[in-house]
């Protein structure tokens, strides 16, 4: 059985690029996630915003993939923000300390206000 394959849509916002994510972030999501990140980078944004509203499941490999994006963002001196995480995944981002390095907002407007 395969779960819902991750889909990603990139759109431009003032000062940032937003990646809308839908589906599951697991090993099968690696190519989609990386391609979306590269597409977002092509507009040379100062900040990349991950929208987790449509994400149903993130596993330990998904945590590693998100961490890879943080590494890439850091190397290019860009910020990686996020919104749309439910309480359970907020807890996981806190436990893993992802949230120490990636600001988590309640919604898109709050993230845009921080840029």
Partner 1 sequence: MQEKWTELLHFSLPSQPGMERVAMERAAGALHGLLSDIALERLKTAVAEGTLNAIEHGNHFQEDLPVEVNIWYSPSAVRVNIIDQGGSQMIPESSVPDIDAKLAGLESTRGWGMFLIRNMVDEVRITGDGQRHTLELVSYRESNP
What the block records as the tokens of 115 is 């840029």
Q: What is the rounded CA–CA span in Å between residue 112 and residue 115? A: 5
- Cβ contacts of residue 78 below 8 Å, gap of 6+? 41, 45, 46, 47, 48
Q: Give least dist CB 58 to partner 1, A.
A: 9
Q: Look at residues 40, 49, 59 and name the one whose alpha carbon lies nearest to residue 84.
A: 49
Asked if residue 59 binds partner 1 (CB under 8 A), the reply is: yes
Q: Check binding of 34 to partner 1 (CB under 8 A).
A: no
Among 101, 103, 105, 115, binds partner 1 (CB under 8 A): 101
Considering only residues 43, 60, 106, 109, which one is a binding residue for partner 1 as defined by CB under 8 A? 60
- Taking the least distance from each CB to partner 1, the nearer of 39 and 68 is 68
Interatomic CA distance for residues 114 and 42, integer angstroms = 22
DSSP letter at 42?
T
Per rule CB under 8 A, is residue 74 in the interface with partner 1? yes
Write out the residues near partner 1 by the rule CB under 8 A: 1-3, 24, 27-28, 57, 59-61, 63-65, 67-68, 70-71, 74, 87-88, 91-92, 95-98, 100-101
């Amino acid at each position: 059985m395969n779960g819902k394959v991750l889909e990603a849509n990139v759109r431009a916002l003032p000062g940032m690029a937003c990646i809308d994510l839908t589906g599951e972030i697991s090993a099968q999501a690696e190519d989609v996630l990386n391609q979306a990140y590269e597409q977002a980078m092509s507009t040379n944004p100062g900040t990349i915003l991950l929208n987790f509203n449509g994400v149903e499941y993130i596993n330990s490999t998904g945590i590693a993939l998100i961490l890879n994006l943080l590494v890439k963002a850091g190397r290019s001196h860009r910020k990686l923000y996020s919104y749309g995480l439910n309480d359970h995944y907020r807890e996981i981002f806190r436990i893993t300390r992802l949230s120490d390095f990636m600001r988590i907002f309640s919604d898109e407007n709050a993230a845009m206000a921080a840029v």
